[in-house]
A and B are shown apart, each in its own frame.
Chain A
Amino acid sequence: MSNTTDTPLVATRWVESGLALFTAALGGIVMFGAIEIGIGWGDAGPEAGYFPFYIGLLMTAASVGNLMLALLRSPAMSAAFVSRKAFGQVLAVFIPIVLYVGAMPFAGIYLASAVFIAWFMWRDRQRSKPYGIPVVAAISCGAALASYLIFALWFKVPLDSGVVGDLVAVAGGALR
């Protein structure tokens, strides 16, 4: 929640313009890709790029419209998009998610998930009743185990256990 000591981080106008530029660029990329494969009229009717080209064109045109609106419409756009404190909270969740997803190919889904949940709970220790290590361990490992039981065993959708998982499997094989 924003309060009086919170300073606004960025005006809505700039976020709005940034997103509009992003979608305009996306439209440009789509148009470029469409032109590469042909946007004309071939022997078998419209070529593969015909439809995507107009999609890209519409996307860019609408984005330019959004950009103009963001730059021209004054009062509402000057309002803060997000306060510094609130954005800090968002990043405090988003950055760990990025690390979690980044670690997945190496650590595997099970290990990465367990560490991710454990870290999230451990970080919350400034609350009145911090979680003890047994609780943290039980919940994080329990969640990983549950996902193994549900996905890999019950529904037969094996999840990637990553390089670490492979190593464990190799080590297990060697021991046997």
Chain B
Amino acid sequence: MSEIDSLMQGMALILTPHHIGLMVIGVLLGILVGVLPGLGAPNGVALLLPLTFTMEPVSAIILLSCMYWGALFGGSITSILFNIPGEPSSVATTFDGYPMARNGQAGEALTAAFTSALLGALVGVLLLTFLSTRIAEFAMAFSSPEFFAVYLLAFCTFIGMSKNPPLKTVVAMMIGFAMAAVGMDTVSGELRLTYEQPWLLSGLSFEVAVIGLFGIGEILCTVEEGLVFRGERARITPMTILRTWAKLPRYWLTWLRSALVGCWMGVTPGGPTAASFMSYSLARRFSKNRDNFGKGELEGVIAPETADHSAGTSALLPMLTLGIPGSATAAVMLGGLMIWGLHPGPTLFVEQHDFVWGLIASMYLGNVVSLIVVLATVPLFASILRIPFSIIAPIIIMICSIGAYSVHNSMFDVGLMLIFGALGYLFKKLGYPIAPLILAAVLGDKAEDAFRQSMLFSDGQLSIFWSNPLVGSLTTAALVMLFWPVLARGLKALFRARQGQARHVS
């Protein structure tokens, strides 16, 4: 099988001391940003991005993706020990993880969380290994209208499926698109939306927005809530690990279900957060120990963790094959690919064979490395959270400022980060989603190019988006997704009316 061959080539590429060292560094940095309040996976990757400009793309993506895995693991440490989700996607882990830690089972909860996370991630990587080439081959036939339809589908899914109010999602997304439009127009080469201000000429970079919205905004929210860390102690001994591992096989069904939910939500832009919540509620519905959920049930830790990680890894499938990220972090990595001069999308598999398979191989190895590193370093990272807020907060703010500065070596970006920080605070408090803004800021130019090229093909006729069955069904699916809340309500009402009628007749 060609996939196995390619995977072996990838393995050979990454099995060097340099790359394994990068993995360990990436994972450690990832756990650190996952554990610290105010820093998260999207933010951490954005902060590290300027430092990768001089690296080989393969080394850079290994560093960034391992940071992502590390951050996902780090998020579970704080959820279980401190009842503080370090990442939105680990909120569901707190429901049973923290009660377990309070019952003195912190070690078991952590071991179960990390192990199921690894298993979940491996399912995601398997999916990536065996599906990506096929999807890329299929997508090779895409031209501009198809690409625009795929982008449209991604954006509409965000609006229709989001838990946030749809109008707020639209506003957030449009801000992202507007950001992407500032600066030079990629088609005509004209400058636009610069209002004759020299500092707008080079455009607004999405990294600065990520750092401000996620970093500074998060710090402000944390301060307002009055941060109290009441952590539970964790001791992980090899005995605890083995004992927990012996218990895990009986939860195979939960694991399988959660992994499938995770993969589905990761590939469609539902994201890890939605996946972990959905998997938790499914596990509760089907569990024999339903009553114990919320009081410290092992299954309630396994389900969200598996889904979280399988969603996190499978989010890279659409990112690599179609150029559409399934999560905010994947969006930032996609931005990185473009900065390194790679073109995400189906051609990547032909032109950058080594890069793609190096990445996929590193995902197998990186997740195993993560598990080992995280099990060994839990006490260390838990003690970081006990550092007083008045030391950790200014250091995080300093890191964010330096990160924003180093994107373009410009002080203006630091000021911009501040504005985005204030905006992030308001957004979070008023229920505006941030991920669509980032997605639009990264993909804006590509979506616009696809749209304008399609318009050129068709002489301005929108009917080109229904010109063949493929593009037609994609566009229609996008519209269905966009109006899904309305449609679902309509269908439900219709169904209920029918039932009422039937009852009436009988």
Q: A109-B405, A155-B51 are in contact. Are A89 and B187 (CB under 8 A)?
A: no
Among the 9-residue stretches B99-107, B172-180, B340-348, the one with 4 or more Cβ atoms under 8 Å from chain A is: B172-180
- Report yes or no: A1 in contact with B455, Cβ–Cβ below 8 A: no
Asked if B415 and A139 sit within 8 Å, CB to CB, the answer is: no
Complex CA gap A13/B50 in Å reads: 40
| CB-CB under 8 A for A160 and B193, given A87-B224, A97-B216, A100-B397 | no
Closest to B399 in A: A147
Across the interface, A93 reaches (CB within 8 A) one of B168, B188, B219, B426, namely B219
Q: Does A143 contact B (CB under 8 A)?
A: yes
How far apart are the CA atoms of A47 and B187 in the complex, in Å?
9
Contact A51–B451 (Cβ < 8 Å): yes
Q: Which residue of B lies closest to A68 (CB)?
A: B167
B6: CB under 8 A from chain A? Answer: no
Interface string of A85-120 (1 = CB under 8 A from B): 011011011100110110011000100010011001
Bitwise, B160-175 to A at CB < 8 A (1) or not (0) is: 0000010110110011
Partner of B167 from the list A12, A27, A66, A86 (CB cut-off 8 Å) is A66
**Nearest chain A CB to B329's CB is how many angstroms away?**
21
**Nearest CB on A from B408, distance (A):** 11
Judging by beta carbons under 8 Å apart, are B167 and A147 in contact?
A: no
Within 8 A of B (CB), among A60-79: 62-63, 65-66, 69
Distance in Å: Cβ of B352 to nearest Cβ of chain A: 24
With A and B bound together, what is the CA distance between A49 and B193 in angstroms?
A: 8
Picked from A34, A44, A63, the residue with its CB within 8 Å of the CB of B188 is: A44
Kindly list chain A residues whose C-beta atoms are within 8 Å of the C-beta of B409: 157-158, 160
Q: Are B185 and A48 in contact (CB under 8 A)?
A: yes
| A interface, over-half SS | helix
Selecting from B9-17, B119-127, B312-320, B386-394, the interface stretch reads B386-394
Bound form: Cα–Cα A65–B398 in Å? 38
Query: CA A97 – CA B399 in complex, angstroms?
Result: 12
Residues of A contacting B394 in the complex (Cβ-Cβ under 8 angstroms):
116-117, 120-121
Q: Is the pair B401, A109 in contact by a Cβ cutoff of 8 Å? A: yes
**Cβ A41 vs Cβ B460 within 8 A:** yes
Q: Select one of B175, B411, B448 contacting A104, CB under 8 A.
A: B411
Chain A positions within 8 Å of B460 at CB level: 41, 46
The answer to whether B402 and A159 touch across the interface, beta carbons within 8 angstroms, is yes
Q: Would you give the 0/1 interface string for A18-55, flagging 1 where the beta carbon is closer than 8 Å to chain B?
A: 01000100110110011001000100111111111001
Binding site for B on A (CB under 8 A): 1, 12, 15-16, 19, 23, 26-27, 29-30, 33-34, 37, 41, 44-52, 55-56, 58-59, 62-63, 65-66, 69, 81-82, 86-87, 89-90, 92-94, 97-98, 100-101, 104-105, 109, 113, 116-117, 120-121, 123-124, 127, 139, 143, 147, 151, 155-160
**B interface, CB within 8 angstroms of A:** 50-51, 54, 165, 167-168, 170-171, 174-175, 177-178, 181, 185, 187-188, 190, 192-195, 216, 219-220, 223-226, 388, 390-391, 393-395, 397-399, 401-402, 405-406, 409, 411, 414-415, 417-418, 421-422, 425-426, 429-430, 432, 448, 451-453, 455-456, 460
Give 10 closest A-B pairs by Cβ, nearest first: A124-B390, A59-B174, A120-B394, A48-B185, A62-B170, A45-B456, A117-B394, A33-B193, A48-B190, A113-B398
